[in-house]
């Protein structure tokens, strides 16, 4: 059996082994996929060992995505733009390719699973960390009317936006500057949700018929998903669909077969009640 794994810390609650097992059954691929607790200071030796023992591909999650980008022998353009890698794949020539499937996973979840299209829409991303970096280019590719990155530390948002200036209309700012503006889609990419916190958000920030999307997910609705519901979002979604879609893209990179995501999303949604 070909071996794959996800590395990260913490990793105990990762849904990736289950997702890839379902993909493998569905597409009749023979593979094994495990989860390993790997802290940043053990990253290099753990990845070296995995591939030297015959591993074919890895997913890397927090806090390892930047390290994975630096580790790869070569990276896709989208991985280089985000300076972060969630998928490593052994190539025929023995080299390791890095890719980042997070952004296309998000766009696929919005477009294919929820009929939400980004062209000409006003989009706000909350947060300017690694999670935001991973999704900017695939969003700009869809030609939104406007993409605003708002962050607690406004310089970080401005620097990030500056780096993507050639890719589309993008502005970085602090939370105070988005007061009085409205958006059709608000994406939470801060880690605030994980602590059940929220950035400061004005009451009328979401346009009528607008959509909220939290990159985070959990057994219960996140604080940002609840914010969306209480502010009359047309839809208020968490990142479970994106998780499955980014996994499907990684699976395709490794196996050359594209699994169906809808039945897997349904299974996972059912499991969390
Ligand atoms: P990730 O790789 O998940 O994006 P990160 O690089 O540590 O993680 O970035 C976390 C993001 O969440 C940052 O944008 C951070 O804001 P700062 O840059 O100002 O630190 C944001 N964040 C974390 N906790 C927050 C909170 N309680 N309120 C608002 N923003 C928060």
Q: What is the pLDDT of residues 218-230, one digit of tens each?
A: 889 999 999 999 9
The mean pLDDT value for 97-120 works out to: 98
| Residue 132 Cα: closest atom of ligand 1 | 4
Q: β-pairing, 74-75 with 31-37? A: unpaired
246 is in an annotated binding site: yes
Q: In what order do the strands lie in the sheet with 170-174?
A: 170-174, 146-151, 122-126, 183-188, 206-214, 235-237
> How many other C-beta atoms can be found within 10 angstroms of the C-beta atom of residue 172?
24
Instruction: Give the H/E segment covering residue 90.
Output: strand 87-90
Asked if residue 262 has pLDDT above 80, the reply is: yes
Question: Cβ contacts of residue 76 below 8 Å, gap of 6+?
Answer: 97, 98, 99, 100
Domain with CATH 3.40.50.720 in the chain: 103-238
Q: Mutate which of 62, 86, 129 to test ligand 1's pocket (most atoms within 8 Å of Cβ)?
A: 129
| Residue 126 Cα: closest atom of ligand 1 | 14
- State what percent of residues in the chain have pLDDT above 70: 100
Structure tokens, 187:
């994406």
Using DSSP, state whether 234 is helix, strand or coil: coil
**What is the model's pLDDT at position 194?**
78
The overall average pLDDT reported for the chain is 96
Catalytic residue among 1, 12, 44, 65: 65
Pairwise CA distance, residues 213 & 184, whole Å: 11
Pocket of ligand 1 from Cβ distances under 6 Å: 127-132, 151-153, 156, 189-192, 197, 199
pTM of the model: 0.96
Rg from Cα positions in the chain: 18
Burial of 77 (0-12, 13-18, 19+ CB in 10 A): exposed
Instruction: Give the H/E segment covering residue 240.
Output: helix 240-255
Q: For 84, how many CA atoms within 13 A lie in the half-sphere containing its CB?
A: 20
CA distances from 157 to 12, 31, 139, 182 (A): 31, 41, 16, 18
Asked if residue 271 has pLDDT above 90, the reply is: no
Using DSSP, state whether 70 is helix, strand or coil: helix
Domain with CATH 3.40.50.10860 in the chain: 2-100+241-271
Closest CA to 222 of 272, 150, 172, 151: 272
The mean pLDDT value for 242-267 works out to: 98
113 is in an annotated binding site: no
Burial of 92 (0-12, 13-18, 19+ CB in 10 A): exposed
Asked if residue 128 has pLDDT above 80, the reply is: yes
- How many angstroms does the Cα of residue 56 sit away from the middle of ligand 1? 33
Structure tokens, 58:
């890895």
**Pair 105, 82: CB distance under 8 Å:** no
- How many angstroms does the Cα of residue 199 sit away from the middle of ligand 1? 9
Instruction: Find tokens 């849904």 and name the residue.
Output: 15
pLDDT tens column, 4-59: 999 999 999 999 999 999 999 999 999 999 999 999 999 999 999 999 999 999 99
Asked if residue 235 has pLDDT above 90, the reply is: yes
Where does the pLDDT of residue 273 fall: very low under 50, low under 70, confident under 90, or very high at 90 and above? low
Asked if residue 210 has pLDDT above 70, the reply is: yes
| Residue 175 Cα: closest atom of ligand 1 | 29
**What is the model's pLDDT at position 196?**
85
Instruction: Work out the end-to-end distance of the chain between its first and last CA atoms, rounded to an integer number of angstroms.
Output: 33
CATH architecture of 103-238: 3-Layer(aba) Sandwich (3.40)
- How many angstroms does the Cα of residue 153 sit away from the middle of ligand 1? 9
**What is the model's pLDDT at position 218?**
87
> Is 2-100+241-271 a CATH 3.40.50.10860 domain?
yes
Catalytic residue at 42?
no
**Least confident span in 87-101, 125-139, 145-159, 184-198:** 184-198
**What is the model's pLDDT at position 61?**
96
**What is the model's pLDDT at position 134?**
95
């Amino acid at each position: 059996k070909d071996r794959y794994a996800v590395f990260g810390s913490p990793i105990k609650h990762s849904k990736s082994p289950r997702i890839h097992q379902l993909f493998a059954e569905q597409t009749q691929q023979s593979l094994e996929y495990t989860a390993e607790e790997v802290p940043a200071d053990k990253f290099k030796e753990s990845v070296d060992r995995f591939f030297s023992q015959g591993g074919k591909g890895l997913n890397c999650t927090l806090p390892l995505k930047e390290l994975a980008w630096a580790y790869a022998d070569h990276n896709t353009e989208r991985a280089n733009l985000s300076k972060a890698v969630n998928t490593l794949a052994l190539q025929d020539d023995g080299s390791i390719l890095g890719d980042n499937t997070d952004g296309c996973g998000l766009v696929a979840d919005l477009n294919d699973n929820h009929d939400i299209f980004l062209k000409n829409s006003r989009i706000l991303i909350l947060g300017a960390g690694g999670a935001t970096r991973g999704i900017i280019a695939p969003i700009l590719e869809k030609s939104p009317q406007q993409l605003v990155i708002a962050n607690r530390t406004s310089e970080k948002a401005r620097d990030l936006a500056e780096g993507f200036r050639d890719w589309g209309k993008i502005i970085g700012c602090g939370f105070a500057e988005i007061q009085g503006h409205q958006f059709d889609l608000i994406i939470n990419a801060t880690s605030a949700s994980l602590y059940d916190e929220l950035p400061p958000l004005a009451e009328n920030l979401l346009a009528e018929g607008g959509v909220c999307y939290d990159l985070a997910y959990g057994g219960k609705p996140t604080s940002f998903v609840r914010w969306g519901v209480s502010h009359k979002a047309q839809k208020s979604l968490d990142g479970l669909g994106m998780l499955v879609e980014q996994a499907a893209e990684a699976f395709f990179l490794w196996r050359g077969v594209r699994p169906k995501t809808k039945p897997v999303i349904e299974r996972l949604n059912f499991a969390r009640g």
